[in-house]
Structure 1
Amino acid sequence: MNTEGYSIKDLETLSGIKAHTIRIWEKRYSLLHPERTDTNIRYYTDDDLRHILNVSFLVKGGHKISKVAKWGQDQIKETVLEVSKSKSSENAYIDRLMLSMVNFDNEEFFKILNEIQLRYSLEEMVYTILFSLFKRIGTYWQVGSIFPAQEHFVSHIIRQKIIAEIDKIGLNNKRGQSILFFLPENEMHEISLLFYSYLAHKSGFNVIYLGQFVPFNDLQKLQSHLTIDFVFTAFINSWAKDALENYLVDLKGLFQKQRIFITGWQVDNLNPELPRNVKIVKDYKEFRKFVGA
């Protein structure tokens, strides 16, 4: 739990239920019973958060709050499971994954991912659902509604999924071309990088995957030892626009003959000026076109 508990704004952000509505539900149905700090500030516990997430899920699924509020925890949990089996829209999947994340429910999270994979290809699952999940997680993290361990819990499971799919492909250098994947120093969020490396593996490229937090000096050393045809990196963490543009210029200077692909939230937010050989990747379909897959 957040060490200071959750505010009603946190509950609004995580559940999608307006704070005003939550207060009405408290008064009318005694749905929640917030505690108070020594300075008389209201706060909510982990149990309160789980309860409002379950209630929110059921109300969005068509159940009336007047009925749900009278149910005990066992009936609520059973009904959530029943509704989960019948709800398969993208937003419903994200809601269910968020609920599993908050509860650190390893078994349920894997179960939902496996269910999604029966309906979607890995590419569709990652890009349509999991990237949207991470955007929502990022928003919640910014406002302090979740803590890093919850994000790490999700990232680890999804990372396992993608690596397992890469392992199934094995070495597949039928294209005779190499793509270097890396994240700059201070960049730790590698799910998108790993996903695009999977696409490159699948398309028959020799993938050189360095992962996160790669010093620029290491790129210089590597460039002098290997023949590289493409370079791929991502910018997720906060960057100043001029710092990002300067980094891209340096990268272009190092890889003058290679095409450089970039992606990430900071690229979208800052809209940096791009050197001639740098191309923004908007989605996985566009990436496959770029590399002729």
Structure 2
Amino acid sequence: MIAFTIQQLECWTQIKSHTLRVWEQRYKAFSPKRNGRQHRLYEPDDIQRALCLSLLTLHHSLTAQLAALPLSDLKARTRLLITASQPLTYHVVELLMAIVDNDADGFRQLLQANWHRVGGLVTLRKLILPFLQRLEDVWGSGLETVEEWASSRVILEQHLVDCTDRLPSPWRMAERYMIVQAKPGGFQLLPQIAHYLLLSQGYAVARPVLHESAELTPEALQSYRPKYVVAVLSGWPARSLVQSYIDQLVSLCTPAQVLLTGDRITGQDISVPEGAGLLHRIEELI
């Protein structure tokens, strides 16, 4: 069974670790095991309890009576609260709980129900993007390789791909682009989900979210045949290396395919190859 540290529990719930300790010690909300170094280890049911309490305590103070409820009762109360309140941000907790349960069908149904209820663009901005941001914290805490959750990641990407045609035309335009990000030694392809993240959040997302991506190679270009290759130069490389990375990219693509963007090129004295494009705003993609 998967065991989680208190730091990972904090990533799941966005509840500070000192608060989680208070919930455990004062209200007996959890009963974590200890490893050989006496560090707390939480089980999936503890994650579920903490996710439920993270919502319920937005409306009620935590009491020993609430903390002692069986997990099934906490889930029932959480669902009632979500149904009554309806903010999409609350449904982020439902998606996370479905992942912990390895409930691929439930995960898919939650996405589809909200998509039909409020529309694709609202669901994308107010549910899926906050969910992905939470996941980014979770994967970054060392849980990115948990195989049991792979199905949910695949479902999420496929759901976005399947629903692309229902979105307004600016979002559909993302399909014309291959988005790449500089990394030590070269460029990597960002997954399909990054197209939507970049178009909705500008340059805030600077790395793949759902899975590791392949390197940009002549073979990858031949396979995807993009109209444009958008190179996001944010965070990496060092400013002194920007020009060499641009030259490397142009050696892989035709200059007319290349669109450069990101904070590493803003205000820099760089030489943009003839025929290549320079984007100061992500909206220029549309």
Q: Does the TM-score normalized on the shorter chain lie above 0.5?
A: yes
1:65 equivalent among 37, 41, 62:
62
Aligned residues: 255
Describe the SS at the equivalent of 1:31: coil
Question: Which residue in the other structure is 1:15 paired with?
Answer: 13
1:88-136 CA distance string (max 9 Å, x none): 3242122222222222222222222123213444234334432332222
Question: Separation in 2 of the partners of 1:141 and 1:195?
Answer: 19
Measured at CA, do residues 179 and 37 of structure 1 come closer, stay the same or move farther in structure 2, by a change above 3 Å?
closer
Question: Separation in 2 of the partners of 1:232 and 1:57?
Answer: 39
1:250 equivalent among 236, 248, 251:
248
The residue identity in structure 2 corresponding to 1:93 is: H
1:24-66 CA distance string (max 9 Å, x none): 2222222211212233333222222222122222222x13321
Contact kept, 8 Å, 1:6 with 1:44, in 2: the verdict is yes
What is the Cα-based RMSD across aligned positions, in Å?
A: 4.0
Q: Are positions 1:191 and 2:192 aligned together? A: yes
The residue identity in structure 2 corresponding to 1:179 is: R
Give TM-score scaled by structure 2 length: 0.69
1:167: how far off?
A: 7.2
Measured at CA, do residues 115 and 17 of structure 1 come closer, stay the same or move farther in structure 2, by a change above 3 Å?
same
Question: Which residue in the other structure is 2:278 paired with?
Answer: 278
Q: Are positions 1:129 and 2:130 aligned together? A: no
Measured at CA, do residues 13 and 162 of structure 1 come closer, stay the same or move farther in structure 2, by a change above 3 Å?
closer
Question: Which residue in the other structure is 2:218 paired with?
Answer: 217
Describe the SS at the equivalent of 2:259: strand
Question: Separation in 2 of the partners of 1:77 and 1:147?
Answer: 27
1:146-176 CA distance string (max 9 Å, x none): 644366333311222123235789xxxxx9x
Measured at CA, do residues 188 and 106 of structure 1 come closer, stay the same or move farther in structure 2, by a change above 3 Å?
farther
Question: Separation in 1 of the partners of 2:241 and 2:51?
Answer: 40
Contact kept, 8 Å, 2:259 with 2:278, in 1: the verdict is yes
Q: After the TM superposition, which residues 282-293 of structure 1 pair with which residues of structure 2 at under 5 Å, given as runs?
A: 282=282, 286=283, 290-291=285-286
Question: Separation in 1 of the partners of 2:136 and 2:193?
Answer: 14
Question: Separation in 2 of the partners of 1:57 and 1:140?
Answer: 18
- Structure 2: any 5+ residue segments left out of the alignment? 168-172, 201-212
Measured at CA, do residues 102 and 79 of structure 1 come closer, stay the same or move farther in structure 2, by a change above 3 Å?
same
Identical amino acids, percent of aligned pairs: 17
Question: Which residue in the other structure is 1:107 paired with?
Answer: 105
Question: Which residue in the other structure is 1:74 paired with?
Answer: 72
Question: Separation in 2 of the partners of 1:97 and 1:280?
Answer: 35
Question: Which residue in the other structure is 1:172 paired with?
Answer: none
The residue identity in structure 2 corresponding to 1:126 is: L
Describe the SS at the equivalent of 1:144: helix
